[in-house]
Amino acid sequence: MYYVNKNKRKNIDFKKYLIITLLMIIACFLIFIYVFDKIIAPTVLLVSDSEMQAKTLDIINTNIAEVYTEKFNYNDVIKVQKDSSGAIKMINADTIKLNELATEVAIKSQRDIKEVGSIGVKMPIGYITKNNIMSYWGPSITVKMEPIGRVVVTYESLFESAGINQTRHKILVNVKTNLKIILPLQSKEVEVVNQIPISDTVIVGEVPNSMWGGNMLQGINEEDSEDTN
């Protein structure tokens, strides 16, 4: 009888130990989830915001440089019409060509952002301290991103005086996109906006007053961008 009671006590003690161990594991897990959700994740999102925006801008800027360096020529896209005295009558833009280039940049950037975002970036927990010594300590959290909607590419045209009888014509590419930065349990949406000059040309002759203060390229590719959303 003594041995039977001893075995029963061992079984009861083992069950108690098992229950306590399981409860401790569950408690630790819940504490970790709480700390991650309330402390770690918001800080990581804040830090990864700038990291992901920088990667997105790098992708967009690279695609703009490649596409416009290879396929954009000011004299082919912008037509300056002059009268017999040499005064500028009108400046027209090849909107079809500009639309094609903007669409190509948007599609390539969309693809590259999605590809990089699906792989994600591993960020050590220590990185959130912004301390050079501790930056690479601790386990890594994989931060991913995905584009929301489409990359929108539009143009801006500016005229500036460049001296007597000369006008500087600048063409800028405006890019805007929205991203979702994704962590386990949390996510954050951010807007990425950038402006890149693609042309800076001096035109000989006086530009008509109607061209000053306006954007002759306004509306180019905007309808196409809305249609692809």
Which pTM does this prediction carry? Answer: 0.70
Residue 21 within a domain: no
Of 11-25, 51-65, 122-136, the range with the highest mean pLDDT is: 51-65
pLDDT at 223: 52
Asked if residue 1 has pLDDT above 50, the reply is no
- Spell out the residues 6+ positions from residue 136 whose beta carbon is closer than 8 angstroms to its own: 124, 126, 127
Task: Categorize the per-residue pLDDT at 177 as very low, low, confident or very high, splitting at 50, 70 and 90.
Answer: very high
| Average pLDDT along the chain | 79
Q: What is the mean pLDDT of residues 4-8?
A: 55
pLDDT at 205: 74
Q: Categorise residue 41: left if φ over 0, alpha if ψ from -120 to 50, beta otherwise.
A: alpha
Residue 29 within a domain: no
Residue 33 within a domain: no
Distance CA(141)–CA(116), nearest Å, equals 16
Distance CA(227)–CA(4), nearest Å, equals 80
Closest CA to 119 of 66, 191, 182: 182
Task: Categorize the per-residue pLDDT at 59 as very low, low, confident or very high, splitting at 50, 70 and 90.
Answer: very high
Tokens of 8: 């029963």
Asked if residue 216 has pLDDT above 70, the reply is no
DSSP β-bridge partners for residue 81: 90
Residue 1 within a domain: no
Asked if residue 202 has pLDDT above 80, the reply is yes
- Spell out the residues 6+ positions from residue 199 whose beta carbon is closer than 8 angstroms to its own: 72, 74, 78, 169, 170, 171
Q: Are 110 and 121 in contact (CB under 8 A)?
A: no
Residue 50 within a domain: yes
Closest CA to 96 of 104, 108, 88: 104
Residue 28 within a domain: no
Range of the structural domain that residue 103 is part of? 45-227
Residue 25 within a domain: no
- 86-125 tens-digit pLDDT: 777 788 889 899 999 999 999 999 999 999 888 877 777 7
Asked if residue 3 has pLDDT above 50, the reply is no
Asked if residue 195 has pLDDT above 80, the reply is yes
* Domain count within the chain: 1
Asked if residue 6 has pLDDT above 70, the reply is no
214 SS3 class: coil
Residue 193 within a domain: yes
pLDDT at 17: 77
Q: What is the mean pLDDT of residues 135-152?
A: 80
Closest CA to 102 of 226, 223, 221, 227: 221
